[in-house]
Amino acid sequence: MIVIKFGGTSVGSLENFRKSGAIIESYVKKKKKFCVVVSAMHQVTNKLITVANKASIQDASYLEDVKSLKEGHLKIIQNLTKGKWLEEGITTIEKHFQELESLLNGVFLVKELSPRSSDLIQSFGERLSSNIMTLYMRYKKISCIYLDTRSVIKTDGTFGNAKVNFRKTELLTKKIFSQYSDKIVICSGYIASTENDETTTLGRGGSDYTASIIAYSLRAKSIEIWTDVDGVMTADPRKVKDAYTLPRLTYIEAMEMSHFGAKVIYPPTIQPAFSKNIPIWIKNTFNPDAKGTLIDKKGDSRKLPVKGIPCIEDITILNVVGSGMIGVPGIASRLFRSLADRNINVILITQSSSEHSITFAVTPKDAKLSQEIIHKEFAQEISHKTIEDVYREENLSILAIIGENMKNTPGVTGRLFQTLGRNGINVIAIAQGSSEYNISLVINKHHLTKAINSLHEAFFLSHIKTINIFLVGIGLIGTSLLQQIQEQYEHLIVRNKLKIRVIGITNSKKMIFDIDGIELKNWKDTIENNSEEYGMDTYITRMKEYNLTNPVFVDCTSSLELVHHYEDILSSNISIITPNKLANSSDYTLYENLHKISLKKGVKFLYETNVGAGLPIIRTLQDLIYSGDEIIKIEGILSGTLSYIFNNFKKGTAFSDIVREAQEKGLTEPDPREDLKGMDVVRKILILSREVGYKLEIQDVILKPILPEECFNTPNIEAFYQELKKHDRIMENKLLLARDKRKKLRFIAKLEKKKITVSLQNVNIKHPFYNLFGSDNIVSFTTKRYSQRPLVVKGPGAGAEVTSAGVFAEIISLSSSFIQDNYTYEDEK
Ligand code: ADP
Ligand code: ASP
Ligand code: MG
């Protein structure tokens, strides 16, 4: 005998009834011996609870709701069957609704809804759906019979969550089934009855339990729970997009998963099956060919330590605190007994080893009552101040990592906390069963989605990591970056196992977001047509609220205003990658603070492109320092524009013409005076000096400008060129003077002995800066190790494409800080 159970969605609509019916028919064809358990149609139990509550407060609108419930059921039978089956169906439904209506009328009149009446009212859901299924199958010429399970499943009188008397239930079930051995028995799920034949229910989601109780009683070969997902998944698929179906679990793992919120199976279901070693399959009505999940004694013997990360979204914790509890035996047992006596389910317990406090979690609806129970139970202790306080903490969630193999795998807890820490998630309470089948954590509800997703990534998806980008600035660099991400997207997934998603894009006018990743093919259209109005505060707030794993703020602007948000962004555990120099070259305290915060929060602040675009200048310098070298001198040509100008400034050409040529080639700032002032170079060498460890400010830099003040005081660019022409002669003289000494003109930034100078110099052929082309940058590091010949980094140091490539490389480099995994399903497939 196989017991097959169809859940609410599997009978939630006409189409779904047909799908479930087709599965039954196929089993008949295959000559399988089976019985069926049916849940109430999707949402019907909830609706019955609502109408009952409405009636109890004399809200007459319940009548309308009942009418539509009835119509819903009638519509199903009318479309599923014809002829005598339809007639019988209509009569059955009418009869049930008459009974239901008169019950509700009673509740309406007495203005009271007892748990007893509530259970009776709820029973209609399953009674109706399983009757419909029976008639539908009969119409399909399948010999079957409806069994109202209230006649076989016997329970105590705990309405709403009745406890099963297995001995009696087994006897009755066996008896009935032996009478119907030639027929397929179609049973109502969820409902049962007391000794006095009063209707009870088995707790919400209890139809799974019904299947297991029947399987237990009949010593069935297996149980099949047909639902709307392919099986038990690594996490709740509504919260974790990448959750995947687990092929096999042990009973204990399944029990832990369901106890901690994996709704796919109702927790009490496991025990009866476990005790008789009956395997449970979870199957998908809407994808019957999928293998499903098998739950049995053996489980999955592979090494994967963690099997799932279930969660309970809403919990409240209660803390019982008091120094008088230390060493006093029996407090905990009294506490939990008093709660159990009132049927309060305690989800998690932790006690500090000092016994100074006991913390436990309950569902929010039980919280107030729990507090009252404790106050009553410990009235004396409270008045004597043995117990000082009993307080509640709300808006919390629990998540658990589950797996029988955790106990054999070191490092699981380390990874757990490392992952949460890196994502800025604070753990409020922890409980680890001594069995080590689960570690459960209480966290703020606000962090739940991020926590499960990041843990899911850490424990299951080491083969693919996701980085979530929030981009600001879509000028040349930003646009080029988006293009590179788009072009490399697939490649990175395959080669680097890295998924780079752009979640937000903004310029200073508009912004767009997509939590699933913006379609980069169309980002220009989207920002043009479907954007929101820009606001930096809104953008940052949204970025924080999304609370995604591995978030990165990429600033491709040169805005000073944005830089003032950096501390806040890093403090919110969001990394920053930027070519914007202003953060690192403004006040030293800001530079220092940003580094401190990023270190403290375990997030990255990366800015290689502040100096020399994509060239590895800052990294090289950091590597030298980290490896213990000592920096003696740094010299550099750090402006691509000025490099171009002096590389092309030859005898016979006017200096002003070369500047204009550079501007025409797009190599200068829109206003070339900005480049010629040399401030950009000043900022770059200042950043390098700070990397070396010097606390220098911009005013400490000695800048000898290339041109006199009057060139820069011009009212506009044209006037500047006019003024510049007047200086062509002086510039040519400088050039010729250098040439005469077989030297070249170079605009060099130098850091030596904690002093920075930026000036135009003559260099001879032996100098590493003598041979330079185009708009190349060059930096030479003279260090203790590189004292004879300096270490030189040289190459294209300007331009949108090389800069964005540098930013892109830093984004990819983030993935190296991710935790490496030892075991994944992927590895073993
Ligand atoms: P049924 O009505 O068939 O009993 P339920 O709604 O009770 O179905 O349970 C199935 C739902 O459980 C799925 O649709 C899914 O959203 C949810 N769920 C939560 N956690 C998990 C998990 N770890 N694996 C699979 N499903 C889960
Ligand atoms: N119909 C009941 C409920 O919604 C039982 C079930 O679906 O398993 O809780
Ligand atoms: Mg269910």
User: 586-645 pLDDT, tens per residue?
Assistant: 999 999 999 999 999 889 999 999 999 889 999 999 999 999 999 999 999 999 999 999
Atom of ligand 1 nearest to the CA of 308: 23
Cβ 285 under 6 angstroms from ligand 1: no
Confidence of residue 564 (pLDDT cuts 50, 70, 90): very high
Cβ 125 under 6 angstroms from ligand 1: no
Which residues approach ligand 2 with their CB closer than 6 A?
7-8, 39-40, 45, 125, 189-190, 204-208
pLDDT reported for residue 825: 39
The conformation of residue 82, written as its DSSP 8-state character, comes to -
- One-letter amino acid at 471 equals L
From 13-27, 308-322, 421-435, 526-540, the region with the lowest mean pLDDT: 421-435
CA 105 / ligand 2 centre spacing (Å): 24
pLDDT of residue 823 exceeding 50: no
pLDDT reported for residue 431: 86
What are the backbone dihedrals phi and psi of residue 408, each rounded to the nearest 5 degrees, phi first?
-95, 0
State the ligand closest to the CA atom of 39.
2
Atom of ligand 2 nearest to the CA of 126: 1
Atom of ligand 2 nearest to the CA of 8: 7
Atom of ligand 1 nearest to the CA of 227: 3
pLDDT of residue 242 exceeding 60: yes
CA 207 / ligand 2 centre spacing (Å): 6
Q: Residues 342-347: what's their mean pLDDT?
A: 88
Q: What is the mean pLDDT of the chain?
A: 92
- Kindly report, residue by residue over 28-38, the tens digit of the pLDDT: 999 999 999 99
pLDDT reported for residue 829: 36
CA 248 / ligand 1 centre spacing (Å): 16
pLDDT reported for residue 404: 87
Six-digit token string for 740 = 């005469």
Is residue 744 within 8 Å of 763, Cβ to Cβ?
yes
Return the residue whose CA atom lies nearest to atom 2 of ligand 2: 205
Q: What is d(CA 120, CA 74) in angstroms, rounded to the nearest whole number?
A: 21
CA 10 / ligand 1 centre spacing (Å): 12
- One-letter amino acid at 679 equals M
Q: Residues 664-668: what's their mean pLDDT?
A: 85
State the ligand closest to the CA atom of 44.
2
pLDDT reported for residue 230: 96
Is residue 80 within 8 Å of 132, Cβ to Cβ?
yes
Confidence of residue 785 (pLDDT cuts 50, 70, 90): very high
Cβ 189 under 6 angstroms from ligand 1: no
Pairing status of strand 438-444 against strand 498-506: unpaired
Q: HSE (CB half, 13 Å, CA atoms) of 455?
A: 32
pLDDT of residue 401 exceeding 50: yes
Its sign, for the CA torsion 97, 103, 104, 105, is: positive
Calculate the CA 109 to chain-centre distance: 49
- One-letter amino acid at 18 equals R
pLDDT reported for residue 667: 83
Confidence of residue 798 (pLDDT cuts 50, 70, 90): confident
Cβ 400 under 6 angstroms from ligand 1: no
Return the residue whose CA atom lies nearest to atom 4 of ligand 1: 7
Confidence of residue 59 (pLDDT cuts 50, 70, 90): very high
Six-digit token string for 316 = 């409240």
How buried is 465 (Cβ within 10 angstroms: 0-12 exposed, 13-18 middle, 19+ buried)? Answer: buried
Atom of ligand 2 nearest to the CA of 207: 8
- One-letter amino acid at 310 equals P
Return the residue whose CA atom lies nearest to atom 5 of ligand 2: 205
Beta bridge partners of 750: 635, 757
Q: Residues 10-17: what's their mean pLDDT?
A: 98
Q: What is d(CA 186, CA 206) in angstroms, rounded to the nearest whole number?
A: 16
Confidence of residue 824 (pLDDT cuts 50, 70, 90): very low
Atom of ligand 2 nearest to the CA of 208: 8
State the ligand closest to the CA atom of 266.
3
pLDDT of residue 434 exceeding 60: no
Confidence of residue 494 (pLDDT cuts 50, 70, 90): confident
| Nearest by Cα to 422 from 574, 226, 317, 290 | 574
Residues 6+ apart with CB under 8 A from 40: 8, 11, 48, 122, 125, 126, 128, 129, 189, 190, 207
Confidence of residue 826 (pLDDT cuts 50, 70, 90): very low
pLDDT of residue 822 exceeding 70: no
| Nearest by Cα to 235 from 435, 466, 461, 391 | 461
Cβ 238 under 6 angstroms from ligand 1: yes
Best mutation site among 11, 39, 119, 213 for ligand 2 pocket (most ligand atoms within 8 Å of CB): 39
Beta bridge partners of 191: 201
Cβ 205 under 6 angstroms from ligand 1: yes
Is residue 498 within 8 Å of 457, Cβ to Cβ?
no
Q: 62-80 and 14-29 are packed helices; what angle lies between their axes, rounded to 10 degrees?
A: 40
State the ligand closest to the CA atom of 205.
2
Q: What percent of the chain has pLDDT over 90?
A: 79
CA 39 / ligand 2 centre spacing (Å): 6
CA 656 / ligand 1 centre spacing (Å): 73
First and final CA of the chain: distance in angstroms?
Answer: 33
Cβ 313 under 6 angstroms from ligand 1: no
Best mutation site among 190, 200, 202, 264 for ligand 2 pocket (most ligand atoms within 8 Å of CB): 190
pLDDT of residue 821 exceeding 50: no
CA distances to 179, 356, 474 from 534, in Å: 73, 51, 13
Is residue 282 within 8 Å of 257, Cβ to Cβ?
no
Q: What is d(CA 575, CA 591) in angstroms, rounded to the nearest whole number?
A: 15
Q: Residues 201-210: what's their mean pLDDT?
A: 97
Can you state the percent helix, strand and coil of the chain, rounding each to 5? Answer: 45, 20, 35
Six-digit token string for 496 = 């680097």
pLDDT of residue 827 exceeding 70: no
743 is catalytic: no
Is residue 778 within 8 Å of 617, Cβ to Cβ?
no
Beta bridge partners of 144: 184
pLDDT reported for residue 818: 62
pLDDT of residue 513 exceeding 60: yes
pLDDT reported for residue 14: 97
Q: What is d(CA 459, CA 399) in angstroms, rounded to the nearest whole number?
A: 14
pLDDT reported for residue 384: 87
- Kindly report, residue by residue over 719-729, the tens digit of the pLDDT: 999 999 999 99
pLDDT reported for residue 429: 87
CA 225 / ligand 2 centre spacing (Å): 13
State the ligand closest to the CA atom of 48.
2
CA distances to 158, 347, 538 from 354, in Å: 37, 22, 45
Is residue 566 within 8 Å of 594, Cβ to Cβ?
yes
Beta bridge partners of 284: 227
pLDDT reported for residue 290: 95
pLDDT reported for residue 375: 93
Q: One of 684, 743, 750, 829 is an active-site residue; which one?
A: 684
Q: Residues 143-147: what's their mean pLDDT?
A: 97
Q: What is d(CA 61, CA 681) in angstroms, rounded to the nearest whole number?
A: 75
From 122-136, 147-161, 507-521, the region with the lowest mean pLDDT: 507-521
Q: Is residue 573 helix, strand or coil?
A: coil
Confidence of residue 352 (pLDDT cuts 50, 70, 90): low
| Nearest by Cα to 204 from 343, 52, 69, 40 | 40
CA 231 / ligand 1 centre spacing (Å): 9
Cβ 232 under 6 angstroms from ligand 1: yes
CA 238 / ligand 1 centre spacing (Å): 9
Atom of ligand 1 nearest to the CA of 236: 20
